[in-house]
Structure 1
Amino acid sequence: MAAPAVEALAGARRIHVVSHVDLDGLVAAALLARWARRRGVEVVHDVTGARGLYRMLRRALQLAAGRPGTVVVAADLAPRSLSEAEALAAALNPRTTLLWLDHHEWPSGAHESLEKAGAIIVHDRSKTTAEIACSLLSCWGDGYEKMIVEIARADDGCSDDPYGLADKWRLVLRHIGWDGLRRAAESLASGEAWPGWAREVYEREAPSYYQEIREKTSVERYSFEDVRVAVVTPPPRASGCDVQRFGPSLGPGDADVVVILYPRGMSIRTWGRLNANCIASKLGGGGHSHVAGAPRPSQSMSSAQIARMVARAALDCMEPSTAGQSVDAAGTSPGNPARI
């Protein structure tokens, strides 16, 4: 669907981007804004988490219906269910163009439902959404744009980048509100890979942020029906990547599923044959094969209750041949665990 996507953007008189809140989504939005402004095309940007996707995207489609020539772009977001995809498909009409760029796993049937309604979907799980956007917009010849794509890729993969900015941006994005997230995308769009205001937030918050992760992250381990679940409770603002990099070391020798527990959500991480997206989907969320997220069902549920719920979902996601067995990652020695 790359050619129809390029054609839709080329014919746009206005672009309305609805992106995810993380750096991958914000960089994709920044690339679209830079591309549009070079062509004198108006661009607006909204940010949302997975739970706000339907409301925000439906609003954008309604506004687009009254503004001919508008292309609505969903960036770095996936429908949480087939029913959500069907509801968004029903919101489309011939006067609106919906272009969807994403790299997460999608519910079965969601693609077909949206494409049947006229949506243009560019979905590539081998790339980040920023890379998908960069390829569509032919931005690889721009050194600055290549740089911010590399930073987004490092953040999404919890890895290092040569500029040392992925970890810093990740912290900053955890300490600013919705307006701050839009400001971050605008700074990136204007050519500021590390603006002064973001540096100030980082320098102010970093010492206590990392210290809290090291000192206040707790781990509880459970086993239900041979599924080993580790429930990790970090400080509320700590990102899953930072808990992985700076918190307790856990790997396939310690647990089959790691649940990083937040006041309103859960980050689910797996190894080997267990699919984190499958587990998260059964709990109302979604994501990637080995990193996914879901809403926290209740703040009153204990860690043991959450672990049991996750274990039951994991059992449903196991292949029949692996049910009742430990689920170590192939080729990974339990005696030398990776970090979560």
Structure 2
Amino acid sequence: MDETLIDDETLPLARRSVLPGQGFFYPDEFEEAAADAEAEEALSGAEVAVIADPDADGLACVAILRELYGEVVLLPTSPHEIEDSLERVAEFGEPGVELFVCDLCPDRYEYVDEELEAALDVAASVRWFDHHQWDDDVAEAVSAAGAELVVGDSEEECTADVAVRALEEEVPRRLVELAAVTRDHDLWIREDPRSDDLADFSYWSEPEDYVEIVAEHGPDLPEDVLEFLAERRVEKEALIDLAVERGEMREIGPWTVGVTYGRCSQNEVAEAMRERGADASVIVKPAGSASIRGSDGFERCHEVAGQVGGGGHPKAAGCKPDIYDDMLDYAHHWTTRGAVTKQVILDAFRALVPEEESEAKSESEIES
């Protein structure tokens, strides 16, 4: 394939906003082989390893662990790759390695059961810190397998907060503050302007670079990083504007739901739709996933996501509906701006409408 067709450097912004990034078009086996090789090299001789979501919250946990334990190997892991990273620890980890899992929650225990048990056979201990909405059965199974699971209140703590209070050692003040500022963005409090800087920097930088910087500076990023963020935000704002322009409002039961499509920063898009009256927002991404954001008027995002293979928090969740069988489905997704994905998620909202309100609305429609 001609790489210029997917090159972010040459595609016009409007077209880039409706297509996934270049990595989407590379076969998974290539990425998996590279990840295997990197994990094998990194885990060789390692005494401590951490499997973490490479966002600001997960990487703050890594910075804290490195401060307390010294050299800690990081395996960056998305929520859909937990079993892969556990399997790599089982295969490449040194016997007796101390393993941490941070800011990750399996939707079902059977997704990680064999891999977790294999990792437990190798590791001296597995400590799992998180703050997402855990199913009780999944939490009980993870703990019963032998992992020490600590889950914080998703409305009060981010995972970095959980790590600070769960670890026996005293965490330096700058990293306690890092956890607090990370929480400000992760829980969508947005009272500290530094939290947006952390979120953006974690998204645009390599995980190791991010950890190195915040480990040294805490939440107060150095001037050269702030200049880098200012440059990148020009394009970020343009992508946000395009997604907001595509937004539509749907009335579903008692809620106004904003829905849009595009490669963009979902939190800022959701905020713009809230300002337009949305109780909840759905931002469908070109890669097929979607972010669901709530408000004080809608705190059931995790319930919506849970119906379509995802999860998260009451006011922030994510999912990727299982509706893509081949590239034709993705082609339809891109050309229709996520029409099927939008419909599936909106149907999940409808399933939450109280029965009496749904019946009343049906009667009103019949009368009209």
Q: Same fold (TM over 0.5)?
A: yes
Q: Does 1:84 align with 2:115?
A: no
Superposition map of 1:66-215 within 5 A: 67-96=94-123, 97-125=125-153, 126-137=156-167, 142-162=172-192, 164-176=193-205, 180-191=206-217, 193=219, 194-195=221-222, 198-215=225-242
CA distance change for structure 1 residues 84 and 250 in 2, over 3 Å: closer, same or farther? farther
Q: How many residues align?
A: 299
Structure 1 contact 92–117 (Cα < 8 Å) conserved: no
| Counterpart AA for 2:99 | V
Structure 1 contact 273–318 (Cα < 8 Å) conserved: no
Query: Aligned residue for 2:266?
Result: 240
CA distance change for structure 1 residues 51 and 22 in 2, over 3 Å: closer, same or farther? same
- Larger % of helix: which? 2
Structure 2 contact 248–259 (Cα < 8 Å) conserved: yes
Query: Aligned residue for 1:281?
Result: 306
Structure 1 contact 274–318 (Cα < 8 Å) conserved: no
Q: CA RMSD in A?
A: 2.9
Q: Does 1:51 align with 2:80?
A: yes
TM-score (norm 2): 0.71
SS at match of 1:289: coil
Take 1:112 and 1:170, find their aligned partners in 2: how far apart are those partners? Answer: 31
Structure 1 contact 53–79 (Cα < 8 Å) conserved: yes
Runs of 5+ consecutive residues of structure 2 not aligned to the other structure: 1-45, 325-329, 362-368
CA distance change for structure 1 residues 228 and 242 in 2, over 3 Å: closer, same or farther? closer
Take 2:354 and 2:87, find their aligned partners in 1: how far apart are those partners? Answer: 37
Provide, for residues 76-103 of structure 1, a one-character-per-residue CA deviation record: whole Å limited to 9, x for no partner. Answer: 1100223214344443444422211000
Shift of 1:140: 6.7
Structure 1 contact 47–182 (Cα < 8 Å) conserved: no
Query: Aligned residue for 2:17?
Result: none
Take 2:172 and 2:120, find their aligned partners in 1: how far apart are those partners? Answer: 36
Take 2:351 and 2:112, find their aligned partners in 1: how far apart are those partners? Answer: 23
CA distance change for structure 1 residues 320 and 101 in 2, over 3 Å: closer, same or farther? farther
Say which structure, 1 or 2, has more relative contact order (CA 8 Å, 6+ apart): 1
Runs of 5+ consecutive residues of structure 1 not aligned to the other structure: 1-12, 327-340
More deviation, 204-213/136-145: 136-145
Provide, for residues 7-32 of structure 1, a one-character-per-residue CA deviation record: whole Å limited to 9, x for no partner. Answer: xxxxxx82201111211111111101
User: What is the identity percentage for the equivalent residue pairs of Structure 1 and Structure 2?
Assistant: 21
Which of residues 22, 27, 31 in structure 1 aligns to 2:60? Answer: 27
Query: Aligned residue for 2:291?
Result: 267
Structure 1 contact 269–292 (Cα < 8 Å) conserved: yes
